[in-house]
Amino acid sequence: MTLEEKIQQFPASPGVYLMRDADGAIIYVGKARTLRQRVRSYFNASGDSRYHVKFLIAKVADIEIVLTDTEKEALLLENTLIKQHHPRYNLNLKDDKTYFSLRLDPHEDFPRFTIVRKRPHDAAFYFGPYSSGAAAREVLRQMVRMFPLRHYPLAACMSRARPCLYHQIGQCSAPCHRLITHEAYAALVDGAKLFLEGKGRQLVAEFKRRMIDASKEMRYEEAARWRNLLHSIEVTVEKQKVVLRGGDSDVVGFYRDGSRIELALLFIRAGVLSGSRLFTVVWELDDATAVSAFLQHYYTGAVFIPEEILLPMEIEDEEALAELLGDLKGSKVSLIFPQRGTKRELVVLAGKNAMSAFRERGEKEATTEAVLVELSKRLQLSRIPRRMECFDISTIQGRFSVGSCVVFTDGVADRNSYRRYRIRTVDGQDDFAMLREVFQRRFRADNSEAEMAPDLVVVDGGIGQLNAVREILDELGLAGRFDLVSLAKSRVLRESMASLVRKSDERIFLPGRKNPVVLRQNSAPLLLLAALRDEAHRFAIGYHRKLRGKEGIASGVEDIPGIGPKRRTALLKHFGSLQCLKEATVEEIADVSGMNRVLAEVVCERLRQ
């Protein structure tokens, strides 16, 4: 039976179709309200004539279908299969940067805000996202000036003899020393939540009411506190401009050039534009399917789902997707393609943001390409260094020795390719032997990544380190597979009579050349190499400190009766370090798997001694 004959027998019912290539690999997963009609549209001569659709269909050797009762079930199944198989031609969403959020756990005693990267589906409140850790910390700093919530874990605060410095400067209400009641602290928490949700005007009205009530009851100190809070909030709220009447909305902006798509997401909270987020997508099919796939991919993750999502175009599965998102949110979600008015203007604005981000990304890629080409010429490399790797060793007198491998792809850190190594075969302080072990494990034949050879390997150090690594590569049969250089840090030039401290230039050593290459300081190629080296050092020392922390917690509890290897491992996984374990309360320790309250009290008592 030919593929065309097989398609003719597909039922006219909802379901999911899986396209396979000649090797049997799944290359695309799609959903449809009517399977036969949808799949036939790919192969009709009068159907979609765009090149990228024809390119996909040319690779299809077989199609399988899975029937579902409803279109919503097809959406859910499609989402599951895409995450399971990662088909080549399905949407691969790349965020433009790492985002941070503020987390507030209402179940804590005197809750506090913390900065997190991930947003799991738990009972906590999440606010954001913020474009960087610095941005999130700045929001947090502004928050504690208006709402004096605690800064540190409660156990650490309660172990102090008196409140911390933040209380003395008015940025903490010192709940650890019972200087504020639970009710008053809860009011501060509620105010902070309203403020971060963009409901500043509602917050002002509530605080005015509290101030007036306290004044009428002659609680003048409390009234003064509400007055001061009001002043801080009103200054901030005045700067906010309402752009949309109503509740919370997200606005999707869309821009396409060939198979490259840029998506901009504008966040409107309580009518105020509070932030944005950008995504880039490589997509081979039609625009509406791309938008639908983006909505499904993004909102089925651990993110906030608003009441309303404004779209740049109509999508086929609007009703089913709205029902699915409504189930996830727990209330109705509307998908709207506005035709006129303020909402249409917001969609146009989001599209302009997407177009601007696309052009900016293209300019950035062109600049990066020029930097890589210049680096290749100046260092006389055999190829453009699109994949660069840097190795580093971190140890203290041969103890807790680790190695790191950091990868930059096209001038950008590729964190998914980072690798770290616990040194196993080297005793004592022998950095070269440790490097040999790291290179052996990185390029051994049974390593699935061995075939993904770098274009350039950068070594931290001078000519001695470079020659040592050359010998290691010769021993391993890796000579000539990639370019090799070493980057020596700048040194302080000490002159006894000089009034200023001078530093030498950073130098790059090449194999077979005695004198180093000195690039212009602060030039883009040199800064790229320095960033690669510094990242390798940071990654190695971070792993080294983690191992030392594990050793600390193990040695800290190994002599406590009733704490064997399993409970010690459970404590280590839960708290991460001996210091965090010392700061934990009896209840927190008792909640760890395998522990109970009696043992937790023993642990607390021993650690405090």
320-334, 408-422, 437-451 — which is least confidently predicted? Answer: 437-451
pLDDT at 222 over 60: yes
Distances in Å between the alpha carbon of 567 and those of 547, 549, 596, 599? 18, 17, 11, 10
Q: 125, 155 in Cβ contact below 8 A?
A: no
The DSSP symbol for 177 reads G
Contacts of 453 (CB under 8 A, 6+ apart): 443, 481, 482
What is the token pair recorded at 409? 């792809």
The DSSP symbol for 160 reads S
- H or E stretch including 141? helix 133-146
Q: What residues form DSSP beta bridges with 405?
A: 391, 419
Percentage, residues of the chain above pLDDT 90: 8
So what's the pLDDT on residue 554? 54
DSSP character string of 513-568: -SSPB-PPTT-HHHHHHHHHHHHHHHHHHHHHHHHHHHHHHHHHHTTSTT--HHHH
- Reported as a pLDDT band with limits 50, 70 and 90, residue 605 is confident
- What's the order of all strands across the beta sheet hosting 272-282? 94-95, 272-282, 260-269, 249-257, 308-310, 334-336
- Indicate the pairing of strand 456-460 with strand 483-488: parallel
So what's the pLDDT on residue 46? 47
Q: Can you tell me the mean pLDDT for 379-398?
A: 85
Q: What does the pLDDT look like over 87-136, one tens digit per residue?
A: 888 877 665 455 677 888 888 888 888 888 776 767 788 876 665 667 67
Distance from C-alpha of 506 to C-alpha of 376, rounded to nearest angstrom: 18
What is the token pair recorded at 384? 């453009």
Distance from C-alpha of 542 to C-alpha of 222, rounded to nearest angstrom: 46
So what's the pLDDT on residue 163? 84
CA 398 to chain centre: 33
Q: Given the structure tokens 């509620």, which residue do they identify? A: 190
So what's the pLDDT on residue 313? 92
- Reported as a pLDDT band with limits 50, 70 and 90, residue 497 is low
Secondary structure, 3-state, 9-29: CCCCCCEEEEEECCCCCEEEE
Percentage, residues of the chain above pLDDT 70: 83
Q: Given the structure tokens 């396209």, which residue do they identify? A: 19
Q: What is the residue-averaged pLDDT of the chain?
A: 80
Q: 507, 462 in Cβ contact below 8 A?
A: yes
511: helix, coil or strand?
A: coil
Of residues 280 and 432, more confidently modeled: 280
Q: Given the structure tokens 């009579």, which residue do they identify? A: 497
Taking alpha carbons only, the member of 379, 423, 426 closest to residue 529 is 379
- Reported as a pLDDT band with limits 50, 70 and 90, residue 318 is confident
Distance from C-alpha of 114 to C-alpha of 95, rounded to nearest angstrom: 22
The angle at the Cα of 213, spanning 208 to 215, to the nearest 5 degrees, equals 95
- Reported as a pLDDT band with limits 50, 70 and 90, residue 337 is very high
φ/ψ (deg, to 5) at 360: -65, -40
Q: What does the pLDDT look like over 577-596, one tens digit per residue?
A: 666 777 778 888 888 877 88
140-149, 257-266, 305-314, 316-325 — which is least confidently predicted? Answer: 140-149
**Helices 71-85, 287-299: crossing angle, 10 deg rounding:** 80
Q: What does the pLDDT look like over 436-447, one tens digit per residue?
A: 888 888 887 666
| 432 exposure class (CB count in 10 Å sphere: 0-12, 13-18, 19+) | middle
Highest-scoring range by mean pLDDT, 100-109, 196-205, 394-403, 527-536: 527-536
What is the Cα gyration radius of the chain?
Answer: 30
Distance from C-alpha of 368 to C-alpha of 378, rounded to nearest angstrom: 15
Other Cβ atoms less than 10 A from the Cβ of 536: the count is: 26
So what's the pLDDT on residue 388? 92
pTM score: 0.60
What is the token pair recorded at 27? 């290359």
| 385 exposure class (CB count in 10 Å sphere: 0-12, 13-18, 19+) | buried
Distance from C-alpha of 411 to C-alpha of 527, rounded to nearest angstrom: 11
322: helix, coil or strand?
A: helix
Distance from C-alpha of 314 to C-alpha of 335, rounded to nearest angstrom: 9
What is the token pair recorded at 88? 């080549």
Other Cβ atoms less than 10 A from the Cβ of 143: the count is: 19
* Cα end-to-end span (Å), the chain: 79
So what's the pLDDT on residue 309? 93
So what's the pLDDT on residue 59? 84
Of residues 425 and 376, more confidently modeled: 376
pLDDT at 65 over 80: yes
Q: What does the pLDDT look like over 557-582, one tens digit per residue?
A: 666 777 777 777 777 667 766 667 77
What is the token pair recorded at 301? 């993750």
Secondary structure, 3-state, 241-265: CECCCCCCEEEEEEEEECCEEEEEE
So what's the pLDDT on residue 253? 93
Q: 529, 484 in Cβ contact below 8 A?
A: no
- Reported as a pLDDT band with limits 50, 70 and 90, residue 609 is low
So what's the pLDDT on residue 95? 57
Q: Can you tell me the mean pLDDT for 217-238?
A: 70
- Is the preceding peptide bond at 175 cis, omega within 30 degrees of 0? no
27-36, 254-263, 264-273, 371-380 — which is least confidently predicted? Answer: 264-273
Q: What does the pLDDT look like over 172-215, one tens digit per residue?
A: 888 888 888 888 888 888 888 877 776 656 667 777 887 888 88
So what's the pLDDT on residue 47? 47
Tally of helices (H runs) and strands (E runs) in the chain: 20, 21
So what's the pLDDT on residue 494? 60
- Reported as a pLDDT band with limits 50, 70 and 90, residue 310 is very high
Q: Given the structure tokens 């023993």, which residue do they identify? A: 602
* Domains, the chain, with CATH or none: 3-90 (3.40.1440.10), 249-359 (3.30.420), 387-536 (3.30.420.340), 558-608 (1.10.150.20)
